[in-house]
Amino acid sequence: MPKRTTHTYSSEDALPEGPESDLFVYYCKHCASHVLITEEDLELAPFIYVVDGALSSVAAETNPHDAPVPPCITQLEGGLVQVAIEVEDRAQRSAVTRVNADDVRVTVAAPAARGEANSELLEFMGKVIFIEGVLSLRLTQMTLQRGWNNKSKLLIVEDLSARQVYEKLLEAVQP
């Protein structure tokens, strides 16, 4: 008997792949794994049936850069990109440890007290997202905003696309 994996997702979480795209991208609510891409808005469908062998995830598994940009990295108007970050302070070193649908997990060595972790996070993200030859990303092109809890932050980056930011973050991931 083949091993089965159950993913839970809802059509409220699906985002069109781009402003003019007819594709909807779905991620699991629990593990944040990419579930499927479809042309159908599943909010209008009461059931979805998947025929055995009909779905393929080969491209994204062999080359993560082929995967769509996760919802935690959002292209905003005016050339801005918003990145949802979950920060772990007092770590051994600064590192990007995970990029998934919900957030980008970043560790920093500084404690959260007196804004030290925020300063280190901004400086570290400037080094991670730096694109040689295209643009030298300055700290003035990044803004750190408060997130939904004390460990979450919203990083706003100017003058880059969501795809560029996503690819730079993927390159920087260290387990």
Range of the domain at 42: 15-66
Q: Which amino acid is at 132?
A: E
In three state form, how does the secondary structure of 97-144 look?
Answer: EEECCCCEEEECCCCCHHHHHHHHHHHHHHHHHCECCCECCCHHHEEE
pLDDT value for 110: 92
> pLDDT of 107-146, one tens digit each?
999 998 888 999 999 989 988 887 554 444 566 788 899 8
Q: How many independent structural domains does the chain possess?
A: 2
One domain, residues 119 and 162: yes
Residue 30 lies in a domain: yes
Q: Which residues, at least 6 apart from 32, have a Cβ–Cβ distance to it below 8 Å?
A: 70, 100, 101, 102
Q: Are residues 85 and 61 in the same domain?
A: no
The first and second tokens of residue 102, run together, are 């919900």
Residue 99 and residue 155 in one domain: yes
Same domain, 58 and 81: no
Q: What is the pLDDT of residue 102?
A: 85
Domain check: are 43 and 99 in the same one?
A: no
Q: Kindly state whether residues 33 and 117 are assigned to the same domain.
A: no
pTM of the model: 0.63
Backbone angles phi, psi at 130, to 5 degrees: -60, 130
Task: Kindly state whether residues 54 and 122 are assigned to the same domain.
Answer: no
Query: Scanning the structure block, which residue is given the tokens 């699991």?
Result: 28
Strand blocks (E) in the chain: 15-16, 24-27, 34-38, 73-76, 80-88, 95-99, 104-107, 142-146, 152-158
Same domain, 160 and 129: yes
For residue 161, what is the domain's CATH number? 3.30.1200.10
- The one-letter amino acid code at 31 reads C
Same-domain status, 129 and 146: yes
Q: What is the pLDDT of residues 50-88, one digit of tens each?
A: 666 555 544 445 566 667 888 899 999 999 999 999 999
Q: Clarify whether residues 91 and 39 are in a common domain.
A: no
Instruction: Please tell me whether residues 35 and 103 are part of one structural domain.
Output: no
Look at residues 43, 66, 89 and tell me which one is the last residue of a structural domain: 66
Residues 79 and 62 in one domain: no
Task: Please calculate the CA angle 36-38-44 and round it to the nearest 5 degrees.
Answer: 110
